[in-house]
Structure 1
Amino acid sequence: MRGRIGIAIVLIVVIVGGAVLAGLGHGETVTATDPPPSRTAVATIGDLQRVVTATGIVRPKTGAEIQVGAEVVGRLVAVPVTVGTYVDKGTVLARIDPATFAARREEADAALKLAEAERDYSRLDLGRKRYLLSTAVGSVQAVDTARTNLAAAEARLRGAAARLALAEIDLGRTTVTAPIAGYVADVAMTQGETLSMRLEMPSLVTIIDISRLEVRAFVDETDIGSIRLGQKATFTVDSFPDQALSASVVAIEPKPRIENGVVNYVVKLDFAPVPGVVVRPEMTAHVRLTVGAATGAILIPRAALRRNADGEAVRIRAGDGWVDKAVVTGLRDETMVEIRAGLAGGEIMEINDF
Structure 2
Amino acid sequence: MKKYLMIGIAVVVIAVIIIIFLADTKEGHDKTGETFVVRKGNVTHFTEQTGIIKAQVGAIVKVGTRATGTLTYLKYQVGEFVKQGELIAKIDDREILANIRNTEAQVEEAIRDVEAKQAQYLYGKTNYEREKNLLEKEFTTKDSVDKAKREMDVALAQVELAKAKVKGNREKLKALEVSLSYTKIYAPISGYVSAVSTQLGETVVSGLSAAILITIIDPSKLEMWIYVDETDIGRTKPGVKVEYWVDTYRDMRLSGKVDMIYPQPEIKDNIVYYLAIVKIDPKDTSLLRPEMTTHVRIMVEEKKDVLIVPNNVVRFEEGRNVVYIKGREKAESREVTPGVRDDRFTEIVSGLAEGEQVVIPSVVKKTSSSASSGPKK
TM-score by length of 1: 0.76
Query: Is the Cα contact below 8 Å between 2:110 and 2:166 reproduced in 1?
Result: yes
Matched with 2:45 is 50
SS class of match (1:78): strand
- Relative distance call for 1:127 and 1:238 in structure 2 (3 A) is farther
Query: Is the Cα contact below 8 Å between 1:95 and 1:174 reproduced in 2?
Result: yes
Aligned pairs for 1:50-69 (under 5 A) are: 50-69=45-64
SS class of match (2:287): coil
Matched with 1:222 is 231
Does residue 140 (structure 1) correspond to residue 140 (structure 2)? The answer is no
Aligned pairs for 1:214-293 (under 5 A) are: 214-274=223-283, 278-293=287-302
Q: Per-residue deviation at 1:260?
A: 2.8
1:166-192 Cα offsets, whole Å, 9 max, x none, are: 101111211111111111111011112
Query: Is the Cα contact below 8 Å between 2:322 and 2:335 reproduced in 1?
Result: yes
SS class of match (2:44): strand
Query: Is the Cα contact below 8 Å between 1:245 and 1:271 reproduced in 2?
Result: no
Q: 1:264, 1:273 → 2: CA distance?
A: 27
Q: 1:262, 1:276 → 2: CA distance?
A: 30
Aligned pairs for 1:309-320 (under 5 A) are: 313-315=320-322
Query: Is the Cα contact below 8 Å between 1:65 and 1:208 reproduced in 2?
Result: yes
RMSD: 3.3
Aligned pairs for 1:60-79 (under 5 A) are: 60-79=55-74
- Greater share of helix residues, 1 or 2? 2
Matched with 2:179 is 170
Does residue 183 (structure 1) correspond to residue 192 (structure 2)? The answer is yes
| Percent pairwise identity | 28
1:87-117 Cα offsets, whole Å, 9 max, x none, are: 1112222111112211222232222223222
Aligned pairs for 1:144-159 (under 5 A) are: 144-159=153-168
- Relative distance call for 1:306 and 1:262 in structure 2 (3 A) is farther
Q: 2:207, 2:27 → 1: CA distance?
A: 85
Matched with 1:100 is 95
Q: 1:117, 1:260 → 2: CA distance?
A: 78
Q: Per-residue deviation at 1:154?
A: 2.0
Matched with 1:19 is none
Q: Per-residue deviation at 1:121?
A: 2.5
Query: Is the Cα contact below 8 Å between 2:221 and 2:285 reproduced in 1?
Result: no
Q: 1:74, 1:342 → 2: CA distance?
A: 82
Does residue 111 (structure 1) correspond to residue 106 (structure 2)? The answer is yes
Q: Per-residue deviation at 1:70?
A: 0.8
Query: Is the Cα contact below 8 Å between 1:245 and 1:274 reproduced in 2?
Result: no
Matched with 1:205 is 214
Query: Is the Cα contact below 8 Å between 1:189 and 1:204 reproduced in 2?
Result: yes
- Relative distance call for 1:228 and 1:278 in structure 2 (3 A) is same
SS class of match (1:135): helix
Q: Per-residue deviation at 1:240?
A: 2.0
Q: 2:286, 2:74 → 1: CA distance?
A: 32
Q: Per-residue deviation at 1:206?
A: 0.7
Q: 2:225, 2:288 → 1: CA distance?
A: 14
Q: 1:152, 1:307 → 2: CA distance?
A: 104
Q: 2:83, 2:43 → 1: CA distance?
A: 47
Matched with 1:353 is 368
Q: Which range is displaced more, 93-102 or 191-200? A: 191-200
Query: Is the Cα contact below 8 Å between 1:43 and 1:299 reproduced in 2?
Result: no
Q: 2:167, 2:279 → 1: CA distance?
A: 51
Does residue 304 (structure 1) correspond to residue 315 (structure 2)? The answer is yes
Structure 1 residue runs of 5 or longer lacking an equivalent are: 1-33
SS class of match (1:139): helix
Q: 2:286, 2:158 → 1: CA distance?
A: 72
Q: 1:170, 1:251 → 2: CA distance?
A: 42
Q: Which range is displaced more, 182-191 or 102-111? A: 102-111
Query: Is the Cα contact below 8 Å between 1:75 and 1:192 reproduced in 2?
Result: yes
The one-letter amino acid paired with 1:122 is: K
Query: Is the Cα contact below 8 Å between 1:97 and 1:174 reproduced in 2?
Result: yes
TM-score by length of 2: 0.72
Q: 1:272, 1:183 → 2: CA distance?
A: 19
